[in-house]
Amino acid sequence: MCLCEEELEKIKDMITALRPYEEVTRELSAEKFVSISKVIPLSTLLLTSSSDLSKKGNEVACQLAQQCKKRFMNIEQNYPLAASTWFDPRFKSLTFKNNDNIKVTKEKIIHELQKMKPVPAPTDLDDSPAVPPEEKGGIWTMFDQAKKKNQEQRTSSSMVDAHIEMRMYGDEQLMSRETDPLEWWRSREECLKFSSKLARKYLGIVATSVPSERLFSKAGQLISDRRASLKPKNVNMLLFLNDYLNQ
């Protein structure tokens, strides 16, 4: 039953090779932090880590590196993953291995930004009580026509605005890994109005199904043979309180 020296060395290699995968699993299983934007960076780091260990003669790491190359080959072409990584001020395009993929991602983001219509300001409303009815038309006709033309030009300039916001965001320096990307975007809502909305759309995606599976596990622990008469609304409330109080 005793392990020989060769078997002990293999176990050590396995522990060394699998340690990064345990770390990544914990990172992506989080439910109280943004996780979707970490998928591409962590897949890149996993491949690099396994490749480095395989060069040192770790056979397990060599097999893992081959699987990473096979499974993550086209991960940067997954638009939701790529967009969430770009919109994370901690990563942006730093962890992309292929510049063509980030270029395509930016083009799709700009296209989405162009489709987002600006909300008209209250001063744009024609039925504003501040203007007496008798002053509409007449001498104001030329002004109203110029204003309408200006608004049409403003709408047609959405393409320019999208490029401006993308360039402004790209010029921002990378944040530390401890930064909350959602809080960062909240502080930029004024200057990056449309980009912040799109960022929340993609950064709010959960990377894995682990959080929902945790919820089902809690429900299974809550409902038992001795507590089978709980009403659904009470079960929901107990699950909510359990999750809220554990934060």
Tokens for 92? 């942006």
Distance CA 26, CA 33 (A): 12
Query: In angstroms, how far is CA 106 from the centroid of its own chain?
Result: 14
Question: Which region, left, alpha or beta, applies to residue 138 given φ > 0 means left and ψ of -120 to 50 means alpha?
Answer: left
| pLDDT above 70: residue 196 | yes
pLDDT in tens, 166-184: 999 999 999 998 899 999 9
High-pLDDT (> 70) share of the chain, %: 83
User: Taking the complete model, does pTM exceed 0.85, yes or no?
Assistant: no
Tokens for 197? 């909305």
Under the banding of pLDDT at 50, 70 and 90, the label for residue 185 is very high
> Helix H segments across 123-192?
141-156, 158-171, 181-186
Distance CA 98, CA 108 (A): 16
Pick from 72, 71, 85: which is nearest to 41 by CA?
85
Question: Which region, left, alpha or beta, applies to residue 137 given φ > 0 means left and ψ of -120 to 50 means alpha?
Answer: left
pLDDT of the residue at 199: 93
pLDDT of the residue at 223: 74
